[in-house]
Structure 1
């Protein structure tokens, strides 16, 4: 699953997070099976239950794969992909909570919900989103979200500068 020409993704981080979710679920499964075996209550029915529980944990922890190209951004979860046209964005909202989310909506009704940390950690994705959002703003379709986008832009710039200083030893 490589990137197509003109497309950028969070592929490397995504692969690490997939393995992390699988290891977490595998560890839980091993622990539950070990406890059942040690207590003498191991049955195939209980093993199937624990296997189902581990599968559900993988489904819950499965990270989104975010990709962007010219005028689009998509987020693919385990079963579904959501896509928006960034040059036709209508609103960008920051949803606060336990983990902050960025909700993007386009003129066709498409919506994508992503973690802002993905954009901060992958400036190429941010560049694609910002490029489309600037066009949407210039065309007058972006009605809500300029403040959110400028806040993320400052944060991406700050983190990118910090990374450059760390790499060059000027920290």
Structure 2
């Protein structure tokens, strides 16, 4: 297999985030790890590698910028937060001038894209609202999954309802 064919085979594909917070968190974590390889030493090998790196970042932007734009829209009460989101979104975009598509620009853009994903991750709640948990427990009592009067251990409830047991550190 040619070197070019090998590069195409190892192309970066961003995760597709689901509506579920846990799935979105996993997709963000996965993409953060992958972003670490986008602007690596191999990207400096040639102009084609730099262009491929920018193309990979375009794929991540296509997936995650719409989420960031929704966060920006939701920050109507805070001009500073709206400006922060606007800055992150702009920094993750491909440089407008073709001459700005350099390895240095790739490294900077990859860093800004990682910052965007980290900011998105920070806005995800690491918990499930207690009202949602109570509703799920009521449903399970009603359908007989949990017998009325049974003592339920918090660990069992967390496992049954696929609740997060702890928040882990981001890469």
TM-score w.r.t. the length of structure 1 is 0.26
Between structures 1 and 2, the one with greater helix share: 2
Between structures 1 and 2, the one with greater strand share: 1
TM-score w.r.t. the length of structure 2 is 0.26
